[in-house]
Structure formats: C-alpha cells, structure tokens
Amino acid sequence: MTLLDPRLSILASLFPLTHASPERLNEVRDSRLRRLVAHAYANVPYYRRLFDSAGVRPEHVRTAADLSRLPATSREQFQGLPLEELTARGVGRLRPLDTGGSSGRQITVYWTGNELRLANAIRFREMWLHGWKPGYRMVRFYNRQRSGGVGLLLARLGLHMAILWAQAPAATHLERLQQLRPHHVHGYASYVTAVAMACLERGVRLRPKMVVTSGDALLEGQRRLVEQAFAADPVEIYSCNEAGDIAWQCRPQKRFHVNSEAIIVETLGEDAAPCDPGAMGEVTLTSLYHYAMPKIRYQPGDLAVLANESCPCGNGHPTISALMGRRNEVIRLPDGDLITPIMFASLFRDYPRTQAYRLSQVSRTRLLLEVVAGPDLTPEALEQLRQRVVMLSRGQVEVDALLVAGIPRALSGKQKLIHADPRGDEEPQ
C-alpha cells in the first residue's frame, strides 16, 4: 500500500471521523467517491461499459446524489461475468472469498490483503465503540476454518480469536466455551441464539462482556433469549462478504450507523428509483475502498429502511432504521402485498425458545409453516400461530402448520426464515 493508496487515507481517518459532523462526512465521502469512480472507469472493463452505456463520464459523478445516473448491478449479474471483466489491472494478489449462499447461490468475490486489513480495522472500530478491550478472550462461530490446538491456546490467553464451527449442533460447543470463558462472542444471530438456548437448557453459565451478531437479523425474541443466557446486551452488525461491514448498531436507539467514510448505502424501489427515507427498498452499496473488485451501486439482495432523521444519540453517520430481510425471502401475496422475514418472525416474539421455524410458499395461494418447537410452544400455540399467518396474509392464502424434527441451515450456517417460490399461481398437481 503506497502513500498514494486511497485505502490508506480511509484507514488513517477511521477513528478521527467516528464522531464527525454530517457535513464533514459528506465532504469526505464525495471526495473518495470521485476517486473510486475514476479508477473503476479507467481500469475495470465492466464499469467502463456500464458508464458508457448510461452516457455517463466519471466527471459526471461528483457527489453521492449523482450515483442515480448509473444503473445498479445485482449479485446475479456479478455471477455471470468472468473475473477479468470485474477486477482492476495491477492491484496485486487477489484473495477469493465466497459468499454465504443465502441468496440461493454462492458467488466468489476478490479482495486484496490491504482491503481485508482495512475491513478488519472497520470491525475493530465497531468493537471499540461498544467497549472492546485488548486482552479479551474472543470466540467466533463461523462456517469455514476452525481453530486447532494452538489457536485455542492463544484464544485462552486473549491473543487470538477462536473459530468454532457454525454447522455443528450448538450443544457440542458448550464444553469448549466453558474452557475458553470468552469475553467476546460473535456469530450469526440464529446460531448465537441456538448456543444461548443450549446454555439455558443445560444450566451452563457464560458471562461474556460482549455478544455480537452479524450475517442474519437478530429478532426480538432471540434478543431476549441471548440477554437471558449471557447477561449481555447483544450488538448487531450489518455486513456482507462482498462489501464487509456496512453498519453497526447504536445501542441506545437500536438503529444502524453506516460506516459512511467507507461505504455509501442507498435503497431502491421496484422501479429502480431511490426510495424516500422511511420506505422499504433494496439495499444498494458503493464501497469506497474496494479498488481490486469495485462495487458501485451493487445490490447484495437485502431489503432495508433508511432513517428519515438524524440519530438522537448525536452520531453524524447516516442510519438504517430497519433491516427487513433478503429479497429472495419475500412472499408476494395474490394482491401484490409482501410478507417479509421480519414481519413473519415478529409472530414468534412470545416464543423465544422455539428452536427454528420457516414459512414456505407452496404456491401463490398456499403457505406451509414448519416449526421445531421449544418448551414454550404447545400444539394450541401452533394453531394460534397458523391463524396469525392467515391474518398476516389477510386471508388471501391457505396456511398449513406442522411440527417438524429439524429445519436445515444454509451452507453458511444461517437459518433461512422464508422459502419463497412465486413460480406459479396454481396448486401443484
């Protein structure tokens, strides 16, 4: 990373800009955007073609508002392009990183080592803002590499983050967690909740100082269960493998502050026009530090609502007021209205010990509710939940409800709440 590398300025400014004014943040953001756009046009074939097809030159994009001149790029479009079309020339060694596959298919994105280090620095700032201290013993539940003996020893000394496998049954980690006695626990929200439930069921007492979730939404009932098991207020981070950490949760307000010196977040409606604040739209990202494989108006497949006012906590970074789930987990009802994962999951807020649940769209007029019951859900409660789903759909669909032994997780270890299949309006024969 040379002294002229723009990623160096982002790294150096992370902490000084943490509490900057909105005006200062906008100034820094727009300066970095101009540099990124010029780089992408000059060095990345895909973006040169995209700009040219839209009749846009790099000098036309001066501020974040000018991004609306460019079409968005979906995850599916990235999947269909060869690597040489998406990456810049002469950026150094590229390191592949697979996405979790919760959109339906995994894709591989590429980072440089410097970009990964900057992403880690952004994560460190988020942890520092929530009380992290050097020497904390840290555990992360992850779906890839797992810590061996040396890594676990270093983790017990507070010198390394132990990685435990997020595909294993949660209860299998309890003995290891008691040995590690972590100050900091991090993982997918659904998996951390499963670990918390296993701790409560088996009387295991862990008292981490920090519980951090990312990768999938932490629902209201899950939050209460995690608080009960760990005696800690969990913090959510909104992130994706393509762009790193996007936003971090403001504890007092439960909103998400965007890392706006490193990423721009828009929401777009079905007509591809920017949504008004307060309206749900598709998340559209522009990463200001990905120069190897730029992401300009990139859509990872998420739905969110941007806040329409500044956060009462006083932090100047723009905020996301609600994360609504994934685009491919939305059920469209016959009249065109939507059931989102967050709307559906709210039905289970009174049943935090229910182990897993999923709503599947059998057809446009029939839904299937599957539940792995916990000790707080009786057969009578299952029928009440079925009726609530009928009410949520305003009686437009029939709903079947079943108790099942288990619901498989995605390859990433996340728990998918809705399986939407809008291919037809007729019942299968």
Give domain limits for the chain.
6-121+251-327, 131-237, 330-419
CA distance 265 to 243: 11
CATH topology of domain 330-419: GMP Synthetase; Chain A, domain 3 (3.30.300)
Cross-strand pairs, 231 = none
Q: What is the mean pLDDT of residues 55-65?
A: 97
Considering the chain, what percentage of its residues have pLDDT values greater than 90? 65
Kindly indicate the confidence band of residue 158, based on its pLDDT and cuts at 50, 70 and 90: very high
Considering the chain, what percentage of its residues have pLDDT values greater than 70? 95
The label of the residue with tokens 């079925």 reads 386
More reliable by pLDDT, 104 or 320: 320
Kindly indicate the confidence band of residue 104, based on its pLDDT and cuts at 50, 70 and 90: low
Compute the half-sphere exposure of residue 43: CA atoms within 13 Å on the CB side of its CA.
Answer: 16
Find the helix or strand (DSSP H, E) in which 265 lies. strand 263-268
pLDDT of residue 421 exceeding 90, the answer is: no
CA distance 316 to 329: 32
Is the CB of residue 285 less than 8 Å from the CB of residue 301? no
What is the overall mean pLDDT for the chain?
90
Is the CB of residue 413 less than 8 Å from the CB of residue 143? yes
Q: In this structure, what are the phi and psi dihedrals at residue 359, rounded to the nearest 5 degrees?
A: -110, 120
Is the CB of residue 138 less than 8 Å from the CB of residue 182? yes
Kindly indicate the confidence band of residue 100, based on its pLDDT and cuts at 50, 70 and 90: low
* Same fold for the pair 6-121+251-327 and 330-419: no
Architecture of the domain spanning 131-237: 3-Layer(aba) Sandwich (3.40)
The label of the residue with tokens 């992408």 reads 40
- Greatest CA separation found in the chain? 66
CA distance 85 to 135: 43
Q: How many CB atoms lie within 10 A of CB 334?
A: 12
Find the helix or strand (DSSP H, E) in which 32 lies. helix 22-43
Alpha helices in 231-369 (DSSP H): 341-345
Of the options 3.60.15.10, 3.30.750.24, 3.40.50.12780, 3.40.50.920, the CATH number for the domain spanning 6-121+251-327:
3.40.50.12780
Whole-Å CA distances, 21 to 16, 260, 322, 347, 364: 11, 12, 23, 39, 48
More reliable by pLDDT, 411 or 46: 46
CA distance 325 to 285: 16
pLDDT at residue number 275: 95
